[in-house]
């Protein structure tokens, strides 16, 4: 699950720790807010409900666990995912946090990769819809044209074209290229292939497309023909 554009609230009394976590997550495109205590954390939540809370276990005043327990009792905030960060890897605390329905537990010092993984894991379980960066061709000046490759099985070959089975349904009249040994052997790898029809076979992810080579010369067709002759 994406971290990009997630609202993440960090509640920790240590400013260096907050800064460290903030930098890791901001660089991944998250919107990060910080709070230095449970009290300010709660104020921040009331203002804007975060997608996830990173919560320090040991803070002066209200501890992380007590704060979680309080949130869990409030209907509006009970479902916000929480990841507890703690110095002590105490089995009892882990059990207690699980009982409170806390989704994650991380021991300090936290490695960036572990932090992001844990966040992604927690968000994935909750199936929160992802936020997507929408490319704007004129503004972004990005090359958004790409090519995609899918594995297929060539089933039949003829002097005019071929049949190919793929897990995707290819649009009729679409132009495509096929990489295969037989096509390379026949020097046809530069030729464009046009899909004449694509039909679903028995199973769900199996489609068969009848395709024709475009503008094949007599000589090329002849070569295919000679090759076919040698097959059993």
Binding site residues, other proteins, CB under 8 A: 1-5, 26-29, 113, 116-117, 120, 130-135, 140, 142-160, 162-164, 166-171, 174, 176-183, 204-205, 221-222, 225, 228-229, 231-232
Question: What contacts 208, CB < 8 A, 6 or more positions away?
Answer: 155, 163, 164, 165, 198, 199, 201
- Closest distance of CB 206 from other proteins, Å: 10
Query: In the complex with other proteins, which residue's Cβ is closer, 15 or 130?
Result: 130
- Closest distance of CB 200 from other proteins, Å: 10
Query: In the complex with other proteins, which residue's Cβ is closer, 78 or 168?
Result: 168
Backbone angles phi, psi at 45, to 5 degrees: -65, -40
Q: How many residues does the chain have?
A: 232
- Closest distance of CB 154 from other proteins, Å: 5
Question: What contacts 163, CB < 8 A, 6 or more positions away?
Answer: 154, 155, 156, 157, 208, 209, 210, 211
Query: In the complex with other proteins, which residue's Cβ is closer, 19 or 155?
Result: 155
Rounded Cα gap, residues 126 and 103, in angstroms:
10
Nearest alpha carbon to residue 32 among 55, 56, 52, 57: 52
Query: In the complex with other proteins, which residue's Cβ is closer, 1 or 49?
Result: 1
- Closest distance of CB 86 from other proteins, Å: 23
């Amino acid at each position: 699950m994406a971290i990009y554009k997630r609202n993440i609230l960090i509640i920790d009394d240590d400013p260096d720790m907050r800064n460290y976590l903030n930098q890791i997550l901001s660089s991944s495109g998250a919107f990060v807010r910080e709070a230095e205590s449970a009290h300010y954390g709660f104020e921040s939540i009331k203002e804007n409900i975060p997608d996830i809370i990173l919560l320090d276990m040991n803070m002066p005043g209200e501890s992380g666990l007590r704060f979680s327990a309080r949130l869990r009792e409030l209907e509006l905030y009970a479902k916000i995912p929480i990841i507890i960060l703690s110095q002590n890897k105490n089995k009892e605390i882990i059990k207690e946090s699980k009982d409170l329905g806390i989704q994650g537990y991380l021991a300090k010092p936290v490695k960036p990769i572990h932090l992001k993984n844990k966040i992604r894991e927690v968000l994935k379980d909750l199936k929160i819809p992802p936020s997507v960066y929408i490319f704007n061709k004129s503004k972004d000046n990005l090359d958004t044209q790409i090519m995609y490759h899918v594995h297929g099985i060539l089933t039949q070959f003829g002097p005019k074209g071929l049949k190919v089975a793929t897990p995707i349904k290819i649009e009729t009249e679409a132009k495509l290229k096929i990489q295969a040994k037989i096509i390379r052997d026949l020097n046809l790898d530069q030729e464009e292939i046009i899909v004449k029809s694509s039909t679903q076979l028995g199973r769900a992810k199996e489609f068969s497309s009848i395709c024709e080579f475009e503008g094949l010369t007599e000589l090329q067709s002849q070569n295919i023909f000679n090759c076919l002759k040698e097959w059993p």
